Structure 1
């Protein structure tokens, strides 16, 4: 049975990836006692700036922060049993040490729990997701090299993305995207992806998000041919692959509002890369805010979407990320985690055929976009 398959006998022989690779940990990281199965989180949450509306990072040593209601939800939806939680984490940790001994990855409980929850505590699928998580960085260096908030401040200041300050009644934070604010002549599309990834990294820290997932609200006001055709199918496939198969977050719904006629062409580019379950979670509302309110209640939406919440301060999320600059430096500005690691041939984004920065983004989609436009 699958339930029995995932409960492998854990072993208690664990060291950090710094110790396994005989490297000296960067000075920003705290020391970890030899043989300890806990690796501290890179940042001390008490040292992080306080933002009252968004939870702080998890504590260095794991301590469950879920409410009783969320513990019950995790048990029902994610097959997470509190009494076995740390045993499951240890089992995944042992798999990593045994099957990928050269992988440089965090091994602390809080980090590994993200991957277990995203794959409903299936050890094998959680390990595959973790490898995809790191493989995505290797396959797309222009996104992940020197990835920190200060390098995408122009995207954050523009208001391309933000996070609504209040979650919906299901406890899901709402990631708000406004692609019409981006103009291809201003900066490369890949900068938007960098800002999006940093946002997801911050959103996934709280255990509430790991259990509840997130909702995306994409406002396509102002999107025209230049924005629609610029990424091209190759980049679209990379973005979708990372979100679906390379990041430990549950995207529960994607609400599209104010989409122009050209969106049919945009979605035609994206849909072939979406899994059926994810494609079904796309909801197109047009300009009908009443339709939007059936999916996201007006109490959490700002006035521009017919809601009763306060006006959306687009700079709030920018400040949140910029205040966490050091945290992201520790997380991303380190040696290649996959150096010396042999990945399966079918690993995410490895050996992608065709395409590249020099490919014509209009090829294969130009006629369809113009038809819709």
Structure 2
């Protein structure tokens, strides 16, 4: 039973060996599922006080209703808590993050229109991304990206972004992810000039802007492995859009897996990356997303959620990138290659 602060006994931990590798979605009525250790971590790192939690949620809800009454958004406790935790319970910053979250849908319709797992089934089955079944010792799930699996002639890069966004939406549901954050592992095996130059700086800016300023998730580290020489040019595209704190979280390991094992233990990694957790299984996460089809239809396949709100400069993407920029980009990548 939940107490007056919305706290209940924590749900039993998920047994990944029993064939249920990922946490289930939270119940529709909010009850706190954080363990005492995670509550202590949230208090220390996120300024979250259990005795004030629902008061803080109500304060954010009141701000939305008063200042942005035309914003069609979820207002339930569990949803608003994601934004408070992502901004360390700073009401103003949490509100801005929520507005950015909705603004990105209007700013980038080719990503968010009709966004549901069945529309990116080809990306999932190709092996472009997955989530490793075991979290690391800090409780952080590992999102594994393999851009070398993508061939530009097969489908547009925006489909990869749609798959990443759906994955983040699913990952952020459990409260433990909201507190612990996630880790990203990018394996650049097989990436050549065609993959590196295809997205371009405008697309890179869109992706980085949404991840930094438009989504309520804590990205704690981005580990790059097997990066080719061309990665110098790829990172040169991304870095100008990264905030200093995020840029510092990028770690380049090259082909030295022992370096990777110091930050992601071998017990978490599949055999391909020197781990002991079997072969990399792409099917479990694909199944998890596809089975959540209906919840994404409800969340993303509805009328425009934003009315009358102004988008911040970081989320204004109108206009094409000048041809000179692409020419310069390709020259830089050829030099690195």
Under a length normalisation based on structure 1, what TM-score does the superposition of the two structures give?
A: 0.84
Equivalent of residue 154 in structure 1, options 122, 126, 133: 122
Q: Give the corresponding residue for 2:112.
A: 144
* Secondary structure of residue in 2 paired with 1:365: helix
Instruction: Work out the CA distance in 1 between the residues paired with 2:302 and 2:64.
Output: 19
Stretches of structure 2 that go unaligned for 5 or more consecutive residues are 1-5, 7-17
- Select the residue among 34, 45, 51 that pairs with 1:77: 45
Match of 1:372 in 2: 336
Q: How does 1:105-254 map to 2 (within 5 A)?
A: 105-254=73-222
> Paired residue for 2:326?
362
TM superposition shift of 1:312: 1.6
Mapped pair 1:329 → 2:293? no
| Aligned partner of 1:93 among 36, 57, 61 | 61
Contact 1:218–1:254 (Cα < 8 Å) also in 2: yes
User: Residue 18 of structure 1 aligns with which residue?
Assistant: none
Query: Does the C-alpha gap of structure 1 residues 91 and 249 become closer, same or farther in structure 2, counting only changes over 3 Å?
Result: same
Deviation for aligned residue 1:286: 0.4
Number of the residue aligned with 1:57: 25
CA distance in 2, matches of 1:89, 1:51: 35
Cα deviation, residue 354, structure 1: 3.8
SS in 2 for 1:300: coil
Does the 8 Å contact 1:230/1:362 carry over to 2? no
Residue 279 in structure 1 maps to residue 243 in structure 2:
no
Structure 1's unaligned 5+ residue stretches are: 1-37, 39-49
The structure with more helix, counted as a fraction of residues: 2
Q: Within 2, Cα distance between the matches of 1:300 and 1:212?
A: 16
Measure how far apart 1:348 and its partner are: 3.8
Distance 1:156 1:215, change over 3 A: same
Q: Could you give the per-residue CA deviations for residues 60-83 of structure 1, whole angstroms, max 9, x where no partner exists? A: 110000000000000000000000
SS of equivalent to 2:79: helix
CA shift in 2, pair 1:359/1:137, >3 Å: farther
Large movers: runs of 4+ above 3 Å: 358-361
Aligned CA distance change for structure 1 residues 359 and 54 (closer, same or farther; 3 Å): farther
Is 1:259 the equivalent of 2:227?
yes
Query: Is the 8 Å Cα contact of residues 130 and 246 (structure 1) preserved in structure 2?
Result: yes
For 2:308, the equivalent position in structure 1 comes to 341
Q: Distance in 2 between matches of 1:353 and 1:155?
A: 26
